[in-house]
Amino acid sequence: MVALARTSNTGFLERMSELLGRVDYRLATDPGDREEIFKLRYSAYRREESIKPNSGQTFADDYDEKGNVGLFGVYIDGRLAASVRIHIATKSDPVCPSLGPFEDVLSAELEAGKTIVDSTRFVTDRLLSQELTGLPHMALRLCWQAVEFVSADHFLAAVRPEHQAFYRRTFGHKLICPARTYPLLKTPICLMSVGYGEAVDDVYRRYGFYRSTVFERRMLFGGIVSQRAARSEIVPGFLKVINGRKADIVPTSQAS
């Protein structure tokens, strides 16, 4: 039984490493790229009936325009396969989607100087996710890079209750607030968190493909930190880390 489990895990890691070779992560700054992501997002949320329909068939909000956010596309062989939105929140720049509904849980942490990575609007292309079962991990790897880049005290997962097990199993997330109403969504959302220091050893032991280089992380998230450098006294803490298609909402996005 143990031997079979090891063989299965080895096969999974090999498939993920092969898929990673086809992945391109892009920070969406071009209006056309952003529009494509908003349409993928809309398709995913409408399929789950999590949002109301609209004539433009896009799903975006004010948090997509904040100074501490990165809107990312995950491309497989040049095709948009997934997207996730990542906010890096600190005491000096506390804006993040989860702060609104969970202010009573998060405000004290931010005031204490904790760094939060809030990953939301996590969606995948429906057809590609059926073809590539490891696609969610490719997007989660991007979130994990942000967590490592800033040595986050809190890697948040705002998720539906039925998706808690996925995050507990993958990263060791713990529930820090039970489900409550979440803006723009019909389904109540709970909040989970895990710190980089708590999770890093186990993540790399089980999922070697989550590893990345300093250069890769800096290319993806250095711009977000740079935007905040002029107004953030906490930047030295970051620099130490540096020295429509059918779509599916994956566990975070169904909640976020």
CB atoms within 10 A of CB 104: 8
| Average pLDDT in the chain | 86
Percentage of the chain lying above the pLDDT 70 cut: 84
For strand 154-159 and strand 174-180, is the pairing parallel, antiparallel, or unpaired? unpaired
What digits encode the pLDDT tens for the residues 76-135?
Answer: 999 999 999 999 999 999 999 999 999 999 999 999 999 999 999 999 999 998 999 899
**Given this model, what pLDDT does residue 185 score?**
86
Closest CA to 58 of 118, 123, 119, 117: 123
**Given this model, what pLDDT does residue 187 score?**
86
Which residues are CB-neighbours of 205 under 8 A, at least 6 positions away?
none
pLDDT band at 200 (very low <50, low <70, confident <90, very high): very high
Q: Is 135 helix (H, G, I), strand (E, B) or coil?
A: helix
Higher pLDDT pick, 174 / 240:
174
Q: Which two tokens stand for residue 180?
A: 């409550």
Is the model's pLDDT at 236 over the cut of 50?
no
What is the distance between the alpha carbons of residues 166 and 173, in angstroms, rounded to a whole number? 9
Q: What is the pTM of this model?
A: 0.85
For strand 116-125 and strand 79-89, is the pairing parallel, antiparallel, or unpaired? antiparallel
Closest CA to 200 of 253, 149, 255, 234: 149
**Given this model, what pLDDT does residue 242 score?**
34
What digits encode the pLDDT tens for the residues 29-56?
Answer: 999 999 999 999 999 999 888 888 999 9
| 120 Rama sector, left if φ>0, alpha if ψ -120 to 50, beta otherwise | beta
**Given this model, what pLDDT does residue 72 score?**
97
**Given this model, what pLDDT does residue 51 score?**
87
Is the model's pLDDT at 191 over the cut of 50?
yes
Domains, the chain, ranges and CATH?
A: 2-255 (3.40.630.30)
Is the model's pLDDT at 246 over the cut of 90?
no
Is the model's pLDDT at 255 over the cut of 80?
no
**Given this model, what pLDDT does residue 253 score?**
40
Query: What average pLDDT score do residues 208-218 get?
Result: 95
What digits encode the pLDDT tens for the residues 131-160?
Answer: 998 999 999 999 999 999 999 999 999 998
